[in-house]
Structure 1
Amino acid sequence: MHDQQIPLDAWTQKEVRGALYMIVRNENLPDARATIRVIQDRFNDKAKYPWVLLNNQYFNADFKRHVSSITTPKNVSVYFGKIDTDAWAYPSWVDVPRAENALWDLFGVARGESLSHHQLLRYQAGLFFYHPLFDNVEYTWRVEPGAMYTCELDFDPFKMMKAGKKKLESFMQQHPEWIKPRNQTIMPWITHRNKENTKDEYNFCHMWSNFEIADLSFYRSEAYRYYFDHLDSTGGFFYEKWGDPVRTLAAAMFLDRNEVYFFDQIGYTKDGISHCPLQSGYLQKCTCDSADSHDMLENSCTLDLLRYSDPPTFDALMNYARTKLPPQLSLDLNNTDILKQVIKKKDQLEAFIKDQERRHLAVE
């Protein structure tokens, strides 16, 4: 048997009907237990939000017993759901031979050859919130098995999202009324202007949705459902590898930039990629080093996102970086490539400063 619904009394005396959810299989029990354990320790032992675990197969008794042994002593509810077969299988309009050939073409792309991975990406992009276990849920925190959280949370992300009212071209021509003005959104973050034809082109920046806290009213909105259905009707989730950019493009089209929030306070590591708080005030509660954060790598777009979505945090980073520079050296810290170099580890920073001082002397 599997659970069908979370009763409303699961949120007695809570301001927000939030839920942590994970899509996981029986064989991934060790990773699931490790991640649930750390989130319970860091946050949910006290907050006591319910967990929703989903599987495209039935959860076995061992899985349920080992997970419940973490949550039950803390009076935290866990609901074990099964993903509907129709939502996981090939939809009727997909050309199956073409899709199977596409798996071979995507061999070498991260999990691109895995049919189950394509099914998971499609389900996460636009189907998970239809599961009856989310009928009474307002906000979800997506949790990936194997992810580690490296900071103590002494605040409630669900409350913060609700209090701050945060949410997370043929189509655009058909429904222009749904598209927010470019200068009110994060669209400038994910596009650059082509100087030859003055058109905006996608720059491949996107928000990684492995850690995502979302207001489900966004995904349930007419605009998002139409957007997903349009993408789904093309079969692209099976012919291509469509994942995080699907969410990012939706956020850029349908949300004001102040409805997108970057949780700098939450340290996170998954598959070798990590985020550690960029602001020094948060680091006292963490076991990570911001200099090792993926945000500091050359190919990261995080700081550019903050420029659009959270200017106060971006300004705080520039002020922090200035404290690391000698007073005689003036650099354009609004340039995120330079800002990343200044925030790096001490030995790397010293080499960078010496290089910049040589450049300044050469110019003089």
Structure 2
Amino acid sequence: MIVINSNQRKPLLLTAGCLLFCVFFFFWPLKAPNNQKATTSHSSLINHPNLPDPSLPPAWHNTTRAKAAFVILTRNNELDALRKTIQQLEARFNHKFNYPYVFLNDVEFTQEFKDLTSSLTNAETKYGVIPQEHWSYPDWIDVEKADRLRKKMGDEGIIYGDNLSYRHMCRSSG
């Protein structure tokens, strides 16, 4: 015979009460009030303001879509991470729209890079080189002051604050 002392009864009673409560509401039939028609969750979503009108064609059949492209600043050595990004873009969005990709780098892209990225999409792919004068400091910048401030940002823990290439990339893409 199992003996339960008074300290063990409270958790058992609470657990049993919660279990009964859950079972009761799980198996309780959902009924609409007598004066209302019962609706399914699907029919209540038909006129939801955040959902598209089902009588309209899907978005990818829209002929007035924006003229756009994916512009990606990347390097040849970032090919593996970029491959995953393109696969996700294609799977979730671009396989319907086929927006072109424009890849930019501060050096020529390798043939391997071009072959792999173009094989990941049916969309057009273009490859460009950002000229050195767009990627580096303009003549009117005080390079020593910029170096000091970049080092200070790195010391303060600002993400990419001390990364010269990243700063040039941000400037060239702006």
Matched residue type, 2:104: L
1:149-201 per-residue CA deviation (whole Å, 9 max, x = no partner) reads xxxxxxxxxxxxxxxxxxxxxxxxxxxxxxxxxxxxxxxxxxxxxxxxxxxxx
Deviation at 1:91, TM superposition (A): 0.4
SS of residue paired to 2:120: helix
Structure 2 CA distance for aligned equivalents of residues 25 and 85 of structure 1 = 15
Structure 2 partner of 1:116? 165
Q: Does 1:80 align with 2:127?
A: yes
Structure 2 partner of 1:21? 71
Structure 2 CA distance for aligned equivalents of residues 49 and 118 of structure 1 = 28
Q: Does 1:61 align with 2:111?
A: yes
Matched residue type, 1:93: W
1:73-103 per-residue CA deviation (whole Å, 9 max, x = no partner) reads xx31100111121111100000111111222
Deviation at 1:118, TM superposition (A): 0.9
SS of residue paired to 1:18: coil
Structure 2 CA distance for aligned equivalents of residues 15 and 47 of structure 1 = 9
Matched residue type, 2:170: L
Structure 2 partner of 1:104? 151
Structure 2 CA distance for aligned equivalents of residues 68 and 46 of structure 1 = 17
Structure 1 partner of 2:100? 50
Structure 1 CA distance for aligned equivalents of residues 98 and 124 of structure 2 = 8
The within-5 A match list for 1:93-172 is 93-107=140-154, 108-125=157-174
What fraction of aligned residue pairs are identical, expressed as a percent?
Answer: 34
Output the TM-score relative to the length of structure 1.
0.29
Structure 1 CA distance for aligned equivalents of residues 66 and 112 of structure 2 = 31
Q: Structure 2: give runs of 5+ residues left out of the alignment.
A: 1-62
With over 3 angstroms needed to count, the CA separation of the structure-2 counterparts of 1:14 and 1:63, relative to structure 1, is farther
Q: Does 1:70 align with 2:133?
A: no
Structure 1 CA distance for aligned equivalents of residues 161 and 88 of structure 2 = 29
Q: What's the RMSD between the two structures over aligned residues?
A: 1.4
Structure 2 partner of 1:6? none
Deviation at 1:48, TM superposition (A): 0.9
The within-5 A match list for 1:197-212 is none
Structure 2 CA distance for aligned equivalents of residues 30 and 110 of structure 1 = 22
Q: 1:38 aligns with which of 76, 85, 88?
A: 88
Greater RCO structure (CA 8 Å; 6+ sep)? 1
1:217-261 per-residue CA deviation (whole Å, 9 max, x = no partner) reads xxxxxxxxxxxxxxxxxxxxxxxxxxxxxxxxxxxxxxxxxxxxx
Structure 2 CA distance for aligned equivalents of residues 85 and 117 of structure 1 = 14
SS of residue paired to 1:76: coil
How many residues get paired? 110
Deviation at 1:16, TM superposition (A): 2.9
Structure of greater Rg: 2
Matched residue type, 1:114: N
Matched residue type, 2:161: G
